[in-house]
Amino acid sequence: MDPGEPLESGGASGAAPVGTDRVVRVDAGEWGWTWAADADGRLHQVGLGPEGARAPVEVDPVWYPDAHPTWGGADPLRPPALRITHADGTTTTRLRLDRVERQSVGDDETVSVCAFDEVFNLRVRFHARTHRASGVLEQWVEIDHDEDGPVTLWDHDSIAPTFLVGPDAAITQFGGAGWADEWAWTTERLTPGTKVLDSLGGIQPHLQRAPVLLLEPNGPTDEESGDVVGCSIAWGGNTRFALDVRPRANEELRDLRVRAGANPLGAHYVLEAGDRFVSPTVAWTWAQGRQQLSDRFHRWTRDRVLRDPGRTRPIVVNNWESTFFDFDEARIIGLIDRAADLGADLFLLDDGWFGTTHPRDDDDAGLGDWDVDRRKLPGGLEVLVRSAEARGIRFGIWVEPEMVNPDSDLFEAHPDWVIRDGREPRLHRNQLALDPLLAEVRDFEVGVVDRVLAAAEGATYLKWDANRPVTDPGSRALPTDRQSNAWVDWVHATWDVMARVARAHPATEMMLCASGGGRTDHGTLRWFHEFWTSDNTDPVTRVRMQWACGHWLPMSATAAHVTAWGGRPLPFACAVALSARFGFDLDLDALDADGLAVCRRAVACARRTQDLVQHGRLRRLVSPVDGDRSRAALAFVSDDRGRAVVFAYQLEESTTEAPAIRMDGLDRDAAYTATVTDLTADPVELGPFTGAALADGVLGWNLTEPTSTRIVELVRSDAADPPGGGPGGVSRSATGTAP
């Protein structure tokens, strides 16, 4: 097929009619993809990848398979991305290109490819929005129709690109056993057939699998080189990646179609004439090396997703792991005092502070009743806020507005507000989920936050939790023959609530939590500042989790608290939390003098390094998910290369030779002073070393004991003083040799 002349009319925006032999190009920033309409107006993918925005390549499939499988040439029978039963019962769809619209905003544009069914009055618009500063492309699909009755969308993927992959093509997925096992790293080679990677449960699906996929179409890559495609489904509900691998006769190469979007399992969508179905946005990029992949996702997440991305997040002290539900005013004020003494920025009061007729002494009562439990907190929340303010720190509060215990005033008043399928609903963590398709529920949920923040006037931080999945789907807001729409509609309704809350409380920093990292999608995060990575805070596990999610999300958003989980040495636990958004969830009252000294050193280190960790460039140096998985090292480098911090962790006994730490990303000719600590003693200053020496591995590994650590801060001789006034108590090493 001859792609012919460029289609574009050259204007900043506008529609162009499409004839035959026309091409549509999307330049996503150093990569892109190209489609062309054939004589029938059918769109084909003719280019994808680094050259894809320019040069046609040999892959020539129908670019978004509709209705029935297609065949011929390099386009074998394969499952469709869009599967519709039309109003008259017809199960096929054939789309033809109508026109292409381009809207420009600054350097970016939204390309909308508008197609229509050749028989039915049904339209599909494929939108591609660039973010060239990062190289991440956002895509979504809109469908509407004027047929004589509703149509049913059985599959409604957001994208369906085809790749020509080599025999060693591999994917990495990020999912484990559920609660406390988020972000488990699995790399596998692709083999012929269809592999489905999905998630279920609606409210906290990412406990099962994060909605991201890493594809290495030509086999293993490293940080610096190799084709690597990263794909994130920005959807706060069930997601699906379907990978269709088809061999080619007498060739090593294979065709891979990646379909990505909302999981259609049980969620076919019945679309009325005149209504519009909007698919999730899928954000993806084709990078060279994993470093570039992360750089791109971090930049895009900061620019397009997170609230207040440039603001350095606070050092948080949370009471959950130290008290659970068992506390009173004196205990909390004591912890606030401890948090302030330690130098934290904010005290976060977790679950258990509410419930009057049904006190929240455990997880079996009180959820939904957002009045303070005066038995525990006689002075109300205001006393706690004032106490934090008096100690010079901020106050934050936990809520779970989407949920209810049957043992609550709320449930007694509104038993019909919960998600149920007509049967007796099943409890999970003794609770039920409210149905956000009911307008009164949405108002209630917005009101919960208003009420709680009014009761805790002066609070500037909110942790938003959601501790059960949907197991018995059903909504009385939907007609009986539209029940399957709920899975998609719930996401939009919940986002509506979150958007209202964010608008009403623009100064309140918000953490997104769902039994840990059950909600870690780039869609829901738009109303939040950060997320709770996992309830699993065992630092050995956390190193691997943070390594995995750090591919997609900046550490400013990745909350990591020091806890007693796993019984690991405190310096090690602190060092692991320091490599993400730092905080504590530790019984500060129970710390002995040594423990307190470690925590103080950690806070001082956070003061010096959190700006780097949260806003610097993440460099991954030694992987805890490859090889014998016994070690990890990562670094964060300032934009001007003047400062960096390196975290090295010995996780377990090693069976391999210790690596050197090759500190990349510095100015090779400059001299850097190194300040080293394992948090058991004050930092020691070493060096200076040149950037070249540091890149060549002058920093030896020097760790042997499992759960030991080393933090190396590097400052270029001409660099401005780091925040926090430089390492306190630094002593100069006598030798000046590499630590």
Cβ neighbors of 412 (< 8 A, separation 6 or more) are none
Helix (H, G, I), strand (E, B) or coil at 321: helix
DSSP state at residue 354? B
User: Which CB sits closer to ligand GLA, 147 or 321?
Assistant: 321
Site for ligand GLA in 551-580 (CB under 6 A): none
To ligand GLA, the closest distance from the beta carbon of 531 in angstroms equals 10
To ligand GLA, the closest distance from the beta carbon of 565 in angstroms equals 12
Query: CA-CA distance, 230 to 237, in Å (whole number)?
Result: 19
* 111: its two tokens: 């390309």
Stretch (H or E) spanning 170: strand 170-174
Q: What angle do CA 314, 320, 321 make, to 5 degrees?
A: 105
User: Which CB sits closer to ligand GLA, 126 or 532?
Assistant: 532
User: Which CB sits closer to ligand GLA, 272 or 362?
Assistant: 362
Which range in 130-138, 158-166, 404-412, 510-518 contacts ligand GLA by CB under 6 A?
A: 510-518
User: Which CB sits closer to ligand GLA, 466 or 719?
Assistant: 466
Q: Using CB atoms within 10 Å of the CB of residue 307, give its burial: 0 to 12 exposed, 13 to 18 middle, 19+ buried.
A: middle
User: Which CB sits closer to ligand GLA, 241 or 398?
Assistant: 398
To ligand GLA, the closest distance from the beta carbon of 396 in angstroms equals 12
To ligand GLA, the closest distance from the beta carbon of 676 in angstroms equals 33
Nearest 10 degrees: CA dihedral of 421, 425, 428, 434?
60
**CA separation, residue 101 to residues 13, 98, 129, 183, 332 (Å):** 7, 10, 12, 38, 58
515 binds ligand GLA (CB under 6 A): yes
User: Which CB sits closer to ligand GLA, 408 or 467?
Assistant: 467
**444-459 as b/e, with b when 16 or more CB fall inside 10 Å?**
bbbebbeebbebbeeb
To ligand GLA, the closest distance from the beta carbon of 675 in angstroms equals 33
User: Which CB sits closer to ligand GLA, 143 or 403?
Assistant: 403
The one-letter code for the residue type at 60 is D
Candidates 183, 300, 320, 464; binder of ligand GLA (CB under 6 A) is 320
351 binds ligand GLA (CB under 6 A): yes
To ligand GLA, the closest distance from the beta carbon of 678 in angstroms equals 28
Nearest residue to ligand GLA, scored by beta-carbon proximity: 351
Site for ligand GLA in 385-444 (CB under 6 A): 398
* 581: its two tokens: 């958004």
User: Which CB sits closer to ligand GLA, 513 or 676?
Assistant: 513
Cβ neighbors of 598 (< 8 A, separation 6 or more) are 570, 571, 574, 679, 680
227 binds ligand GLA (CB under 6 A): no
User: Which CB sits closer to ligand GLA, 494 or 638?
Assistant: 494
DSSP state at residue 557? G
Cβ neighbors of 407 (< 8 A, separation 6 or more) are 358, 364, 365, 366, 430
To ligand GLA, the closest distance from the beta carbon of 398 in angstroms equals 6
Binding mask 436-475 for ligand GLA (x = CB under 6 A): -----------------------------x-x--------
To ligand GLA, the closest distance from the beta carbon of 412 in angstroms equals 22
Candidates 277, 532, 636, 647; binder of ligand GLA (CB under 6 A) is 532
User: Which CB sits closer to ligand GLA, 466 or 666?
Assistant: 466
User: Which CB sits closer to ligand GLA, 356 or 430?
Assistant: 430
To ligand GLA, the closest distance from the beta carbon of 353 in angstroms equals 11
User: Which CB sits closer to ligand GLA, 398 or 528?
Assistant: 398
To ligand GLA, the closest distance from the beta carbon of 563 in angstroms equals 10
To ligand GLA, the closest distance from the beta carbon of 449 in angstroms equals 16
User: Which CB sits closer to ligand GLA, 173 or 533?
Assistant: 533
To ligand GLA, the closest distance from the beta carbon of 123 in angstroms equals 42
Q: What angle do CA 69, 74, 77 make, to 5 degrees?
A: 20
To ligand GLA, the closest distance from the beta carbon of 350 in angstroms equals 5
538 binds ligand GLA (CB under 6 A): no
513 binds ligand GLA (CB under 6 A): yes
User: Which CB sits closer to ligand GLA, 3 or 352?
Assistant: 352
* 599: its two tokens: 């925590």
Q: Using CB atoms within 10 Å of the CB of residue 678, give its burial: 0 to 12 exposed, 13 to 18 middle, 19+ buried.
A: buried
Query: CA-CA distance, 218 to 704, in Å (whole number)?
Result: 36
- Number of residues that this document lists for the chain: 739
To ligand GLA, the closest distance from the beta carbon of 429 in angstroms equals 8
611 binds ligand GLA (CB under 6 A): no
350 binds ligand GLA (CB under 6 A): yes
User: Which CB sits closer to ligand GLA, 37 or 456?
Assistant: 456
**Please, which contacts does 245-251 make with residues 24 or more away whose CB atoms are closer than 8 Å?**
245/165, 245/190, 245/191, 245/192, 245/193, 245/194, 245/195, 246/76, 246/78, 246/192, 247/192, 248/74
Count of other CB atoms within 10 angstroms of residue 701: 18
Cβ neighbors of 697 (< 8 A, separation 6 or more) are 660, 661, 662
Query: CA-CA distance, 584 to 565, in Å (whole number)?
Result: 12
* 293: its two tokens: 């992949």
Candidates 155, 535, 667, 713; binder of ligand GLA (CB under 6 A) is 535
Query: CA-CA distance, 686 to 738, in Å (whole number)?
Result: 7
To ligand GLA, the closest distance from the beta carbon of 381 in angstroms equals 17
User: Which CB sits closer to ligand GLA, 263 or 494?
Assistant: 494
Are 739 and 712 a contacting pair, CB within 8 Å?
Answer: yes
To ligand GLA, the closest distance from the beta carbon of 438 in angstroms equals 24
- DSSP class per residue in 657-680: PPPPB---SS-TTSEEEEEEE-SS
- How many residues bind ligand GLA (CB under 6 A)? The answer is 11
Which range in 9-17, 94-102, 512-520, 653-661 contacts ligand GLA by CB under 6 A?
A: 512-520
DSSP state at residue 314? P
Binding mask 651-680 for ligand GLA (x = CB under 6 A): ------------------------------
Count of other CB atoms within 10 angstroms of residue 670: 19
The one-letter code for the residue type at 637 is V
User: Which CB sits closer to ligand GLA, 38 or 350?
Assistant: 350
Query: CA-CA distance, 716 to 663, in Å (whole number)?
Result: 13
- DSSP class per residue in 450-496: HHHHHHTTT--EEEE-------S---TTS-GGGGGGHHHHHHHHHHH
User: Which CB sits closer to ligand GLA, 218 or 430?
Assistant: 430
To ligand GLA, the closest distance from the beta carbon of 434 in angstroms equals 17
To ligand GLA, the closest distance from the beta carbon of 532 in angstroms equals 6
The one-letter code for the residue type at 83 is R
Cβ neighbors of 375 (< 8 A, separation 6 or more) are 359
370 binds ligand GLA (CB under 6 A): no
- Binding residues vs ligand GLA (CB under 6 A): 320, 350-351, 398, 465, 467, 513, 515-516, 532, 535
